[in-house]
Structure 1
Amino acid sequence: MNDTDVTLLWQQFRQSLEDTGSALGLSGYNWEELLVYGLGQLLVTLMIMLLFWLLYVAGCLLMRWLLGRLDRGAGPYRTGRVVLRYLLGLATLVAIVAQYGAADGVIKGMARAGLMALAFYVLWQLLSRGLITRLSRRHLDSSLVQLCKNTLSVSLMALGAITVMAQFGFDVLSIIAGLGIVGIAVGFAAQSTLSNFIAGITLLIERPFRIGDWVCIHGQEGRVVRIAFRTTWLRTRDNVFTMLPNDSVATSDIINYSAEGPTRIRIPVHIAYKDSVAQARAVIMPILSAHPMSINNDALTPRVQLRELADSSVVLSAQVWVSAQDVEVKGRISCELLESIKQGLDEAGIEIPFPHLQLHLDEARGLEPVFGRRRSADDDTTRNH
């Protein structure tokens, strides 16, 4: 491509720009000057960004050297690097906006708003760390700690946003009044959601159960895996997740199997009246003690007690304690023990009866002809043999 082709290409480009400007009503502009001005502004912007980047690198190196001499560790360095990056980024933004001819009020508002946002961020970091430390010392539930932290974050963010908007001339009082009216309307439209939210806070404060506890709520039995602001999540033995509204959870009967530690399993065992209770106990006790998940110590020992004299059997109660961590498999433990007890009683010759009736007829003369004929037939058969 020679100089003539380049000149021709440039003329075509200029003609295209002029035609485009005429179509958009922008005729009369010197596109060459605009292009040169735009390239110059872009070059200055890049130089400003390069300058502040070099300042950031130099500041990080200096800060690392100083903290290394003071032996402060990596935590202060990371925090200082974040603050330095934010300040230099704010300075870069203000310089670039000033370069393109922004008004003094806008530039000052941006600078003040940026510094105030940084102040609120530092305040949030300090308050949240102090709050978490104090609440952790009181051994509060992790969900309640998270709720307090989220409340603090939302409050500081709202206050910071209002303060930043005030720097740009917004009428903060009108915005707050409008948000209050909107909040009332949303409150009426979402009564159930607010009810579940308040109930969730109540559950986190009263703590009838914690994450990991095995509970029964509304007939739903499972392990608590999450306590959210609106719902409580349970995982059943079948690995099915159930979400219960906090409003219904707070007003229902709650059975917590894990709150007091070990739980007792009761297994009813029926034996015949002719068999010995002591013998059955001697068979069942080793089975209860030998199970790997049963607790066998001085305070919590397996036992077999006589519970009832039923119509057709003697009812024994085989009792064994399991730890709170094994409550989830309590059904499996009961099945394993029951199968072992059945096998042990069969081997010992102890009968496990089934319900039956024994009929006694006093002076049943109406049946005498029937039994008489049957008795005479049996006698004839005996004589023939």
Structure 2
Amino acid sequence: MNEETGTAVAETVQQAAQVTVETVAEVTQGVAKETRTLLHIDDLLGYFTWANVMHVATSVLALLIFYVIYRLIKRFLKKRALVKVQPHTAVLVSKTVSYVFWALMVMYVLSLFGINLQAVWGAAGVAGLAIGFAAQTSVSNIISGVFVLSEKAMKIGDYISVGDVNGVVDSVDLLSVRVHTLDNQMVRIPNSAIINGMLVNYNYFDKRRLVFSFPVPYEVNMDEILALVSAVPASCPSVLQDPAPAAFYDGFGDDGITMKLAVWFNRADFIKVKNEVYIAIMKLCHAHGFEIPFTHLDVNFYDAAKSAAAKAPEAKKAAATRTTRRRKTESAD
């Protein structure tokens, strides 16, 4: 009896274990199947054929060749072609080459996956219109940047003035021009402001002219002063003699007649020329004993007590005079 009971229990346990194993196997197979379906593993494995592997290898090799060609073009432009152009033009050309290369690479990769590029271009056109309406200011700056670059009105290192901003050009891009002021602050000037405003480039020409203006006393010998001032540029080493300097009178002022001295110099000697000419003019004045006229201001201090004491006798005299006149008038009546 006990043996029969033990046998039955063993068979029951064995059957339960077998059912459990079969259930686990079915669940495992189901999970694996769902996972393969969800991750498209079967589809991916279908792509890993010898032909597809060769196609991917060829594509990767083509991308590497294109990248090597791109780097060679960049190196050639940097060492040979861009040396002859202005720095900001070289930067713009380099960026354009980079953008074109990466755009071609993206289109090539998309074509490898069988994506219709015409549909992409159509979507890009619609997106471009939307972006254009949303960013009209940026588009205006880009168009203005093309004109700024084509006019070649400035280059990196030039000292320019646009409106109230003065500074040295650090970069010329499609959207803006960046300058740093004399107190070393970076200022970004939109290209539209340059096109619509007035741009002054102090470094565009190699030579510049500077005009010094100062009054001369009316009582001096004007011919002598004119001859003396005309000789000032000769004592200034940084002043150019060609074009020749010019000294002339330019109107009558409140303090004296206005004398002007115009001199030419190399743009790098701006500060040096100002110092040399001002020092030479002051030495001229000291050497010949005349001073540059200027407005004088006399200050008189007012003392109320002294003023009242000084006016008291006059007031008494005036009062006595009025009294005498009044008495004479009464006597006549």
1:264 offset after TM fit, Å? 0.9
Distance 1:181 1:134 in 2: 40
Deviation by residue 1:126-182 (Cα, 9 ceiling, x = unmatched):
555666688558x43232233233223322321222112322333433333333322
Q: Which amino acid aligns with 1:108?
A: M
Q: Which residue of 2 aligns with 1:140?
A: 85
CA contact (8 A) 1:218 1:252 kept: yes
CA distance in 1, matches of 2:198, 2:236: 32
- Secondary structure of 2:261's counterpart equals strand
- 1:114 is matched with which residue: 60, 76, 85? 60
How far apart, CA to CA, are the structure 2 residues paired with 1:234 and 1:163?
Answer: 39
Q: How far is 1:202 from its partner? A: 1.4
Contact 1:267 1:318 in 2 (8 A): yes
The 2-side partners of 1:237 and 1:339 are apart by 24
State the Cα distance separating 1:200 from its structure 2 match: 1.3
What secondary structure does 1:107 align onto?
Answer: helix
> How many angstroms apart in 2 are the aligned matches of 1:238 and 1:285?
36
Equivalent residue, structure 2, for 1:194? 139
Q: What one-letter code is carried by the residue in structure 2 that aligns with 1:220?
A: V
The equivalent residue for 1:255 is: 200
What is the aligned counterpart of 1:295 among 239, 243, 247? 239
Q: Aligned ranges for residues 349-364 of structure 1 at < 5 Å?
A: 349-354=289-294
Gaps of 5+ in 1: 1-21, 28-99, 357-385
Aligned equivalents of 1:280, 1:225: Cα separation in 2:
45
Question: 2: CA distance between counterparts of 1:336 and 1:239?
Answer: 27
Q: 1:207 aligns with which of 152, 158, 169?
A: 152
Deviation at 1:318, TM superposition (A): 1.8
User: Does residue 124 in structure 1 map to residue 70 in structure 2?
Assistant: yes
For residues 196-345 of structure 1, the aligned pairs below 5 Å read 196-281=141-226, 283-285=228-230, 287-292=232-237, 294-297=238-241, 299-327=242-270, 329=271, 333-334=273-274, 337-345=277-285
Once the two structures are superposed, what CA deviation does each residue of 1:232-269 show, in whole Å capped at 9, x if it has no partner? Answer: 12233333332111111112122222222211111112
Larger Rg: 2
Q: Please give the per-residue CA displacement for 1:333-373, whole angstroms capped at 9, x wherever unaligned.
A: 436633542353134211322358xxxxxxxxxxxxxxxxx
* Residue 102 of structure 1, CA deviation: 7.0
In structure 2, the CA distance between the partners of 1:198 and 1:263, relative to structure 1 (3 Å rule), is: same
In the alignment, what sits opposite 2:7? none
8 Å Cα contact 1:224-1:233 kept in structure 2: yes
- Looking at structure 2, the residues matched to 336 and 347 of structure 1 have their Cα atoms a distance apart, in angstroms, of 16
Mapped contact 2:92–2:173 kept (Cα < 8 A): no
Q: How far, CA to CA, are the matches of 2:269 and 2:156 in structure 1?
A: 15
Q: For the residues of structure 2 that align with 1:338 and 1:132, how far apart are their CA atoms?
A: 46
User: Equivalent residue of 1:301, what SS?
Assistant: coil
**TM-score normalised by the chain length of structure 2:** 0.65
* Cα distance between partner residues in 2 of 1:135 and 1:232: 24
Cα–Cα, structure 1 residues 202 and 219, in superposed 2: closer, same or farther, change >3 Å?
Answer: same
Q: Deviations over 1:212-234 (max 9, x none)?
A: 22222113233222212211122
1:150 equivalenced with 2:95 (yes/no):
yes
- Taking structure 1 as the reference length, the TM-score comes to 0.57
One-letter amino acid of the counterpart of residue 294, structure 2: F
* Cα deviation, residue 311, structure 1: 4.6
The number of equivalent residue pairs is: 257
Cα 1:296–1:173 change in 2 (3 A) is closer
Question: Contact (CA 8 Å) 1:303, 1:320: kept in 2 or not?
Answer: yes
Q: CA deviation at 1:272?
A: 0.9
- Please report the RMSD computed on the Cα atoms of aligned residues, expressed in angstroms: 3.4
Task: Find the aligned partners of 1:254 and 1:248 in 2 and give their Cα distance.
Answer: 9
Displacement of 1:204 in angstroms is: 0.9
Structure 1 position 116, deviation (Å)? 2.2
Per-residue CA deviation, residues 69-110 of structure 1 (Å, 9 max, x unaligned), is: xxxxxxxxxxxxxxxxxxxxxxxxxxxxxxx99712652342
